A and B are shown apart, each in its own frame.
Chain A
Amino acid sequence: MQLLLKYRTQAFLLLALLVSFVVSQASDNIDGYVLQIMLVAGINIILAVSLNLVNGHTGQFSLGHAGFMGVGAYMSAAVSVEMGPSILGLLGGPSTLSHGVTFVIALLVGGLCAAVCGWMVGVPSLRLRGDYLAIVTLGFNEIIRVVFQNTSSSGPFGGALGMRGIPDYSTFFWVFGIAAICIYVVASMVNSTYGRGFLAVRDDEVASESMGVNTVRYKVVAFVLGAFFAGLAGGLYAHLFGAIDPKGFGFLKSVDIIIMVILGGMGSTLGVVVAAIGLTTLNEQLRDAEKFRMIVFSILLIVMMIVRPQGLLPVTFEKKRRKSA
């Protein structure tokens, strides 16, 4: 029992993985429409929590999260479409296991490609602050979109038409399993002595440096890790809908994710998760009134700024008391 308490974070992760596996096995009993919304919500949780590491915890305002998501979506889709059959053949034909292995490889390739992009954008642009960084990341987002849009329509990425016929690997288990891992990674990293560095960088870079915090290193770690999870989310997205096109990874998608982070409370993982679920549901409810969607979101954001600027569930202070020696 004491052991369980000592390692409760890991226990929570295992429990979450187990629950998502069990629900996944029973997902045939869930209404298809509802299941789809749940999966989209799960992907949005990954996006929002990983963006929160960059924007909320480390205080680097990035406007390009959908760009990393796009890289992950395209790369993982390319792996499972182009190389999928040969991987399946290598593993002795289609089976649950070989499909699973193919998906893991595809996701990892997508995530790692996004992480490399995160590093490439991060290292030069993290010398910039505030608005300037926001503009560079916004530019990166557009570059990604335009690059995929201008690929040959007969090539693997399909140009403006996008990619089709991506196998529908994204089940409840994969989406929520990865969401659980993402939350675990971000939360356990931030809630450690090492992780206080992210918050210190956000609060005061000059003071952080003079306390021995390598601010550049922290910013790059946040950027790369955030991009990696955005890449995974992109991979899940591609294998959920089976079709992707460049327009889905534009600036507006980035704004959607940022709204979740701001509504949930910058730097509050739980708040961001709640906001991701809430906004995904609201988005579905507004499907009949598509043209009012952005107006409703904007009003929501303005009301939030006035009534509750710290977000839905702001960060609270951990109670610290000396443990008796």
Chain B
Amino acid sequence: MSSVLELNDVSIQFGGLRAVGGLTFSIQPGELVGLIGPNGAGKTTVFNLITGVYQPTSGSIKFGGVSVPGHKPHQITKLGIARTFQNIRLFSSLSVFDNVRTAKMMHLRHGIAHSLFRGPAFLDEEAMIENEVFDLLDIFDLGKEASTPCKSLCYGDQRRLEIVRALATKPKLLLLDEPAAGMNPTEKEELMHLIQFIKDKFQISVLLVEHDMKVVMGICQRIAVLEYGVKIAEGTPAEIQNNPKVIAAYLGTEDGKGPLDA
């Protein structure tokens, strides 16, 4: 089985800081992979590398056989990678409906001329998009909020809407950047079901960056651990929990030395 995403020896250097060093790691179709690590370990940097915000200093990133570096972020989205953000980034002046509709735009067969001419083909396509958006909103129980300004949704719903918006781009790989941040235990519980549900329903791979161990251990099939931009462990949740290097990275060792001091 060929991987959806393949990172091979990827490094990125910001001046003297090596934010990610020699990262090799892959995601299989339909897999739910977790990426964890202490603060500043380079998790979000990895996201930004995959989505084209940063260009790697060395190494290769392949998505479905296509080399990702060199593409602009919007082109990478068209390839089939969608993401959410650590701090919610909805289009704050738009309604719930329009937030999702914006993500549908890249599937348009018609461009600017059609929106000016407004002929039958344009009206049909707009109606089709409207239906698709409502289908998607209904799946996540947001259909009745369609006309609500997105900023007046409650926090959990805003997080959910951001995921819906990412799904509207019809991705093959969904990147979730700390979706549980700021959620209470009940909301976290719901989120775990939601992620599981999305993975099964849309048949996509998910890469999850998360600090909340209960969420990560509860749903991920495989977990990679980063520290100082280097992968220190990879395995099933059970393996990760008992890995001495991981425990050292999070809690420190008995002699007070970090794992890199050895």
Interface residues of A (CB under 8 A from B): 6-7, 9-10, 185, 188-189, 192-197, 199-200, 202-204, 206-215, 221, 267, 315, 317-323, 325
Contact = CB atoms under 8 A, between A and B. Distances in A.
A85 B164 CA distance: 62
A319 B96 CA distance: 11
B92 A204 contact: yes
Contacts of B73: 209-210
Interface in B36-94: 51, 53, 72-74, 77-78, 82-83, 85, 89-94
B29 interface: no
Interface stretch (B106-114, B219-227, B230-238, B249-257): B106-114
A208 B104 CA distance: 12
Interface stretch (B4-12, B124-132, B186-194): B124-132
Contacts of A9: 118
A212 B105 contact: yes
20 contacts: A189-B116, A193-B115, A193-B129, A196-B98, A199-B94, A203-B90, A203-B91, A204-B91, A209-B72, A210-B51, A210-B74, A211-B82, A211-B102, A211-B105, A212-B74, A212-B78, A212-B103, A214-B72, A267-B93, A322-B131
B146 A210 contact: no
A325 B112 CA distance: 27
A189 B105 CA distance: 13
Contact of B108 (A194, A200, A322): A194
Contacts of A200: 91, 94, 102
Given A203-B92, A211-B169, A212-B106, A320 B116 contact: no
Contacts of B130: 320, 322-323
A-B residue pairs, 6 tightest by C-beta: A212-B106, A192-B115, A209-B73, A212-B77, A203-B91, A207-B89
Contacts of A315: 93
Interface residues of B, number: 51
B147 interface: yes
Given A318-B147, A321-B146, A196 B92 contact: no
B89 A204 contact: yes
Given A203-B94, A322-B143, 14 more contacts: A9-B118, A196-B101, A199-B102, A204-B91, A204-B92, A207-B89, A208-B74, A208-B102, A209-B73, A210-B77, A210-B83, A211-B169, A212-B74, A320-B130
Kindly name the residue among B74, B130, B148 whose own CB sees the greatest number of chain A CB atoms within 10 A.
B74
Given A6-B123, A192-B122, A317 B95 contact: yes
Nearest to A206: B89
Contacts of B228: none
A235 B119 CA distance: 30
A203 B93 contact: yes
Nearest to A217: B74
A196 B105 contact: yes
A215 B72 CA distance: 10
B149 interface: yes
Nearest to B83: A210
Contacts of B112: 189, 194, 221
A67 B166 CA distance: 40
Kindly name the residue among B51, B85, B91 whose own CB sees the greatest number of chain A CB atoms within 10 A.
B91
Given A211-B77, A221-B112, A197 B118 contact: no
Given A207-B89, A210-B73, A319-B147, A193 B103 contact: no
Contact of B147 (A6, A221, A317): A317
Contacts of B72: 209, 214
B97 to A, nearest CB: 5
Contact of B77 (A195, A209, A318, A320): A209
A45 to B, nearest CB: 19
A321 B105 CA distance: 20
A214 B77 CA distance: 10
A210 B82 CA distance: 7
A284 B116 CA distance: 35
Contacts of A209: 72-74, 77
Nearest to B107: A212
B105 A193 contact: yes
A50 to B, nearest CB: 15
